[in-house]
Amino acid sequence: MKSITKKRTAAIAIDLAISTAVTLGVEYFLRKKIKSEVIHTVVTPTVVMWGLEYAQLRKSGQTIGYKAMGLALENEDGLKPTDAQIAKRIMYRDTISTFDYIKDRHHFEEQDGAVLPHDRFAHTVVKEV
C-alpha cells in the first residue's frame, strides 16, 4: 500500500469516528420523533457523514482526518474542488466505487494513491501538504 493510501485510510477512520459521535448525538434527539429503525440505521449515519464531509471539503478542501494526516483535496488544476465535484466524489465513492474495486482490484490505485476511482470520476486529486 502506498504512503498516500495509508494516510487516506487513517483519515477516513478519523472522519468516521467523528461522524459516528455526531450521529449518536443526532439520533438521541431523533429517536423521540422518528420511530423507524431504517432511518436510524441507514439514513441518519449516511446523511451525517456526507454532510460533514461536504461542509469541510467545501470550506477548506480538508476534512479533520485529512488535516490530521497532512492531506488536501484539489481539483485536477490545483484549485479548490467545486461543489459538484465534492458531491459527485462522495456519492460515487459510497456506491459505484465498490463495484469498481471488485471488478478490477489490481488497477484500483493510480498515481501512488493520489487518484482513486471516485477521484478520477470527479476529476479530483488528493495531495500531501
Q: From first to last of its 129 residues, what are the pLDDT tens digits of the chain? A: 578 989 999 999 999 999 999 999 999 999 989 999 999 999 999 999 999 999 999 999 999 999 999 999 999 999 999 999 999 999 999 999 888 878 877 777 667 788 888 998 999 999 999
Three-state secondary structure call for residue 75: strand
Phi/psi of residue 71, nearest 5 degrees: -120, 160
- Sequence letter at residue 83: D
pLDDT at 90: 96
pLDDT at 102: 82
Residues 114, 3: Cα–Cα separation, whole Å: 9
Cell numbers placing 123: 476529476
- For residue 57, what is the enclosing H or E element? helix 44-60
Task: Taking each helix axis as running N to C, give the angle between helix 96-103 and helix 83-93, from 0 to 180 degrees, rounded to the nearest 10.
Answer: 60
Cell numbers placing 111: 498515481
pTM: 0.90
Residues 128, 103: Cα–Cα separation, whole Å: 28
pLDDT at 51: 97
Q: What is the DSSP letter of 126?
A: E
